[in-house]
Amino acid sequence: DLAYMDERFMPHFVPERTIYEMWNLGFEWIAQHTDYVAFLNNDITISNGLIAAMGDVLDATKEVGIVYPDYSRRIEQGIDPQIPYYTRGTYRHGGMSGFCFMLRVHAVKWSPLVDPKLRLWYGDDDIAFQFEKEGWRQLRLSGWPIDHIGQATCNQHPEVFKDVPADKAYFEKKW
């Protein structure tokens, strides 16, 4: 509702699309107009200034393709910027938080951004692994907190869980 009240945002909802179909749709449109794209899940709260900080990191580096906040630090702890550090993979492996990240548009040399065979889980892993395969690094902004309610979409739509076993099997075979 807040996005509809703010002219800076253009909410776009397409019923019956998977989360990754929506990511791909948004990325294809947004990538034509900017250098960086931020992916923010619907169940997160981010720190003031986080989007600018992620953009600043991408502006200041040549080898970083993905940047993301410190998902182990809660909002109520406040911002405590520290030295950013390089990681690999996604939060499942100690790397990128798939629920909030920013990527460098021109780093994407493949299409679509997320493999369309993935429907609910492992799309963020697919992006991270593809970036690494292409030689890009990812960077974690330690000290920039984020609150992730976690599973909000799945709690409202439990039927989506039916796709997880197939996504897992496909991802493991692919990578």
Strand partners, 140: 68, 85
pLDDT of residue 126: 95
141: helix, strand or coil: strand
- Report the pLDDT value the prediction gives residue 14, as an integer from 0 to 100: 74
Q: Dihedral angle at the C-alpha atoms of 165, 92, 147, 32, nearest 10 degrees?
A: -80
pTM listed for this prediction? 0.87
- What lies within 8 Å, CB to CB, of 1 at 6+ separation is none
**pLDDT tens string for the chain (175 positions)?**
777 888 877 777 677 788 899 899 889 888 888 999 999 988 899 999 999 999 999 999 999 999 999 888 889 999 998 888 999 999 888 899 888 999 999 999 888 999 999 988 899 999 999 999 999 999 999 899 899 887 766 777 788 788 899 999 999 999 9
Number of alpha carbons in the 13 Å side-chain half-sphere of residue 140? 21
**Rounded to an integer, what distance in angstroms lies between the CA atom of residue 160 and that of residue 154?**
7
Peptide bond into 15 cis (omega under 30): no
Count Cβ atoms below 10 Å from residue 131 Cβ, excluding itself.
22
